[in-house]
Amino acid sequence: MSRDSMPTLGKSRSSALGRNLIVLALLALAAGGVVWWRKSARKPAPPPPATAVAPSASKPAAPPAPPPRPPKSDDVLKRAGFRRVHAVINGPLETAIVQQVGRELGQPLTQVVVRTLVWWVDVPAGLRKGDVLDVLLDDKEGDPVVEAIRFQSEKNAQTYRVYRYQAHGAPFARYLQADGQELEQRLKDGPIDDYEQITSLLRDGRGHKGVDFKTPVGTPVKAPFDGELSRKNWKVGMNGNSIELKESGGHHRTALFLHLSEIAPESKIGASISRGQVIGSSGNTGHSFAPHLHYQLESSDGTVLDPFAVHETSRRALPAAEKSAFDAAVHKLDALLDLPTE
């Protein structure tokens, strides 16, 4: 044991402390040098990983003041006049929705949701376990009015959003994507110019043979191609007032129009019809529960065709003058959709 290590008082003790500090400083310098050398030896230096912690973060920080308790999401929604349905798919879509809101609302709400999802995935074939659905709807009694939907698709590894918006002077609200384009495609030379919503598509898994356009009684119905009127008012109990048109020219396809309120006087069996000619008016006749047009296309051998595969299609965009009002609506709805779930 050396004399310096003997316990002493006063000066010699402080000088021992000073020596210890010098040793520590040298060690720190050496350690720093090693780190520097190791860093500079790596070529090229990789970028720091995204999760790298800044050195200062290792210092114990003063405990932050507890944040003010955020208001409950459901209360925020209620104040805004909405309710939200959050469902994780683990079987049939309707089961997931009914579990959240009960059968009375869950069944009609599922139908409304499916009309949206079919533009992104086949339903039910394209749904996957773990898909996440968030629906914002008006907090009112009656038929569910869906204001926004967010859907995270496992199959497509994508999140979709759609917002209900009615442009000034437009007859109906429509579902728009964030870029202002309509969710639904439009048919070029389709049987009907404007309508509220497509309520059934061939790909929605209901085994229905036509496309249903929800539209007020009396909406003009037009011929989608040149042809000959081949049948009228058959199975009236089911079809209501109905027209069948056989295409002239190469394809010889058949178009059926069901549930009409009126048939145009020119629409006689055997009459030549030109594309775009008004052949009748939409209605709610036969086996129909709400005013709509049923439009069905078949090939010459009777195979049912999807009009969205046969017609040219496009998506309408919101007029530029509406963009800022729409963006504000999207901003508000997104904030509600993104509230934490409880």
Interacting residues toward Zn ion by CB under 5 A: 210, 212, 294
**Smallest separation (angstroms) from Zn ion to the CB of 209:** 8
Q: Between 200 and 277, whose beta carbon lies closer to Zn ion?
A: 200
Q: Between 109 and 258, whose beta carbon lies closer to Zn ion?
A: 258
Neighbouring residues of 188: CB distance < 8 A, sequence distance ≥ 6 = 311, 312, 313, 314
Give the β-pairing of 313-314 and 292-298: unpaired
Please tell me what DSSP assigns to residue 203. Answer: G
Amino acid at 76: V
Classified as helix, coil or strand, 269 is coil
**Smallest separation (angstroms) from Zn ion to the CB of 207:** 11
**Smallest separation (angstroms) from Zn ion to the CB of 316:** 23
Contact 239/258 with Cβ under 8 angstroms? yes
**Smallest separation (angstroms) from Zn ion to the CB of 276:** 22
**CA-to-CA distance for 253 and 228, rounded, in angstroms?**
11
- Residue of closest CB approach to Zn ion: 294
Q: Between 256 and 336, whose beta carbon lies closer to Zn ion?
A: 256
Token pair recorded at residue 105? 């609302």
Q: Between 277 and 282, whose beta carbon lies closer to Zn ion?
A: 282
Classified as helix, coil or strand, 217 is coil
**Smallest separation (angstroms) from Zn ion to the CB of 293:** 8
Long-range contacts of 126-131 (CB under 8 A, 24+ apart): 126/153, 126/155, 126/156, 127/89, 127/93, 127/155, 128/89, 128/153, 128/154, 128/155, 129/89, 129/90, 129/91, 129/154, 130/88, 130/89, 130/90, 130/154, 131/88, 131/89, 131/155
**Smallest separation (angstroms) from Zn ion to the CB of 294:** 3
Q: Between 27 and 238, whose beta carbon lies closer to Zn ion?
A: 238
Q: Between 149 and 258, whose beta carbon lies closer to Zn ion?
A: 258
